[in-house]
A and B are shown apart, each in its own frame.
Chain A
Amino acid sequence: MSSLVGFLSLVFAIGINFYLLLSRYIFKFQNQKFNLFIRFSSLLTLLSFFSLMYAYVVSDFSNYNVFQNSHSNKPLIYKISGTWGNHEGSMLLWLSILSIFSFFFSFTKDIEESFQRLTLIIQSLLHILFGLFIVFTSNPFLVNSILVNEGLGLNPILQDPGLAVHPPVLYAGYVGYSIVFSIAVAGLFQNTDNEWLYVAKKWSLISWTFLTGGIALGSYWAYYELGWGGWWFWDPVENISLMPWIAGLALVHSLMMVRGEQAIKKWIVFLSILCFSLSVFGTFLVRSGILTSVHSFAADASRGIFILLIFFIVTGFGFLVFLLKEPKKSNSLNLLFINKVSALVINNILMIIATLTILLGTIYPIIIEVLYNKRISVGGPYFNSTVIPIMIPGFLLMSVAPILSWQTNKINDSKKYVVAFIILCVLVLIQSYFLDFNTWGFVGLLLGCWIILASFIAIFSSYKIKISIKFFKIINPHVAHIGVGIAIIGITCSSVFQNELDFNLSEGDKFNVNGKTVLFEKIETTNEINFQSLRGKFLFDIEKNQSKEIEAGKNYYPVSKMITSEAGILHLWNKDIYFILGDQKNNEWFVKVLINPFVSFIWLGVIIMMCSGLIAVSRR
């Protein structure tokens, strides 16, 4: 029953969007009514989504999708997240989020009615394309042809609280760019005043903040679930999310800087189209099965071709309008050796080069396989040695960019910055001398500390310190950059100064980690609702009264016959101690211990960036 409701409301919502699309040319009606229709279609799409969720919650195995991806023994949270833990459901989630964005955009009062309407019509077009994709190739409401009492279960690796929220947050980022895309294309058609830029800024900040959160959640999940001790692997799927993120960063900065210059306006339109195109391209690469990863559900060529078509239509349409309707008159940019505009231009060029470098590395294997029928993989070494050096000048620039002037080359209190930089260099050099010297470590630490220091100098020397919301809004750009600095320190330390220790241990053995004695207490096996767990229990720092307990082990999921590794992580403020339990041989267990310094700084930096993104939404 719920499947029927879901399917009908999905089809009905697509029908309404068709009607709205045609309303521009045939059935003309008032704006008020138009907005009501948009909201109604959004609610129908959500109804469809919640019908599917309901089928998951009550374990309705007469729905084929539920049968394939759920199991009645699963805890409730994984029944709910099972809704988007598969291809069909996640595409419906994608469409629902698109609807939510359209829904809220229909309430926007900041822009002309006709402009708002045109934007929503483009949203309707996107809704139709993705809606048809779901109905024809990825229908989550198919009826199960056999009567069953039990489902096949959800991929155990996805049974994790972090991963339950990761897809919705990430999609909110990806799909949020659809609104920015629609606004930009509508801007090309109507070519009116600059009012739409402020609206676009708000929505692109929202999308970017969600995308940041989504990527960080995925990355954090990889850190504690995959059991490799790393948090970023330059996996194609990670690259795909990173591309719209960097392009979105360039977009957000351009939108904040634009003062009506036509050249920057043109650039903003280009970036808006690019961001959403990259999001759709990412969806295509993951869902067509061209790339393999934990994200690629069953591959199906017809799906791939359909999404490729959508990608081609959306991107082609966007760039074609850009080609035909480009803003004509152009006033020159106020470019100086070092002022705000030139810093913005350099920062944008660097970010676009970085995006293209990642794009090349990601699609290169596809091109090579088509041309030479050879399988190659492009991994970490390529990206580390290309993307990072490209970004470094941008990071250096960003430490001073917020205090640059619009009109002149002058930097206020430039002497202070020079002195601070030199002192910092000496300090980091001394620090590096006493620890193992590593070029990347030195550069990363210097860069991270410098960004934080320069931002603080700027805050203290340029503004009067007050504790008020207004003040926080003013210093917000600096706060965002402090977040980046903190994240850079975390990234550098956890990757360059990571320490690995291997042990072969029997129960009751004591061993030394980082100067502290650790006891390998025992091995324990327990039966949970939907899995069996094997845990090695460790006591960290047993000489102290308050020794800390760490559990590392594996879970065995009988329904899907899979084993997942569960790392045991002790979070300290300045390092994570990461335990991995390996195999047993001759009564001894292989235990790997990784010491990851300052890993928590990455997450702290990301949280600061996200908060700052949200504050910027409210600032005009």
Chain B
Amino acid sequence: MNRIFILTPLIVLLIICIFSLVYLLSGKDPNKPPSALLNKDVPIFESSSLYNAKDIIKSKDIENKKTLINFFASWCSPCKIEHPLFFEIRKKYPELYLLGFNHKDPPSDAKKYLEDDGNPYDFVGVDSDGLIALEFGVFGLPETYLINEDGKIIYKFMGPLTMDILKNEIEPLL
């Protein structure tokens, strides 16, 4: 009995260390919470085009094709930084469907932004009230999601994409 009492601290120590080690090695970052939607179906959404209010895109429309969804806004400076990368992606993966969601932005500003910096997206959906972003669990702009042919979210990235992330994390999934 006495022995067990004295052994307890060592056992507790071991358990704490194992869990902490697994946590550290899994590369989790507490600043970036895991997405609840990862490996789940893409949320149901419906959005009209920035250029033509009658042109509607629904979650059903992106079934059967790999889609990269990017939330952006003209007021978001990190979005400006990652913007040129989408042209690279466009060039390299012409079959990938690029869907941009313009988040809480006056349409005129958004149009001007895409005029100045170019429009890499196949479709620019309007998310003026941020409801679609809410469905996706967007934390802050920019945020990028990769959806596979089965309509499941297989990858999520918070913050501006970089060449390294594109090469090391996104390309293997394409």
Seen from chain A, the residues whose Cβ lies within 8 Å of a Cβ on chain B are 270, 273-274, 277, 281, 284, 288-292, 296, 299, 301, 304-305, 308, 311-312, 315-316, 319-320, 322-323, 326, 363, 366-367, 369-370, 373-375
Contact = CB atoms under 8 A, between A and B. Distances in A.
A310 to B, nearest CB: 11
B20 A366 contact: yes
Contacts of A367: 19
A394 B108 CA distance: 66
B26 A312 contact: no
Interface of B: 6-7, 9-10, 13, 16-17, 19-31, 33-34, 36
B13 A319 contact: yes
B82 to A, nearest CB: 20
A305 B18 CA distance: 11
Given A290-B20, A299-B29, 12 more contacts: A274-B9, A289-B29, A292-B31, A301-B27, A304-B20, A308-B17, A308-B20, A319-B6, A319-B10, A323-B6, A323-B7, A363-B16
B28 to A, nearest CB: 7
27 contacts: A270-B9, A274-B9, A277-B13, A281-B16, A284-B20, A289-B29, A291-B30, A299-B31, A301-B24, A301-B25, A305-B21, A305-B24, A305-B25, A308-B21, A311-B17, A312-B17, A316-B10, A320-B10, A322-B6, A323-B10, A326-B6, A363-B19, A366-B19, A367-B19, A369-B34, A370-B23, A370-B26
A277 B19 CA distance: 17
A311 to B, nearest CB: 7
A551 to B, nearest CB: 32
Contacts of B29: 289, 299
B30 A370 contact: no
A375 B31 CA distance: 11
A284 B20 CA distance: 10
Contacts of B27: 301
A311 B13 CA distance: 9
Q: Which of A284, A301, A305, A320 has the most CB of B within 10 A?
A: A301
Closest 8 CB pairs of A and B: A375-B33, A292-B30, A319-B9, A304-B24, A370-B22, A319-B10, A312-B17, A323-B6
A289 B26 CA distance: 13
A375 B34 contact: yes
Nearest to A375: B33
A404 to B, nearest CB: 27
A60 B7 CA distance: 51
B169 to A, nearest CB: 17
Q: Which of B6, B16, B17 has the most CB of A within 10 A?
A: B16
A311 B6 CA distance: 19
Contacts of A315: 9, 13
Contacts of B26: 370
Nearest to B33: A375
B24 A288 contact: yes
A457 to B, nearest CB: 38
A316 B30 contact: no
Contacts of B19: 363, 366-367, 370
Contacts of B6: 319, 322-323, 326
B44 to A, nearest CB: 23
Contacts of A369: 23, 28, 34
A363 B23 CA distance: 11
Contacts of A270: 9
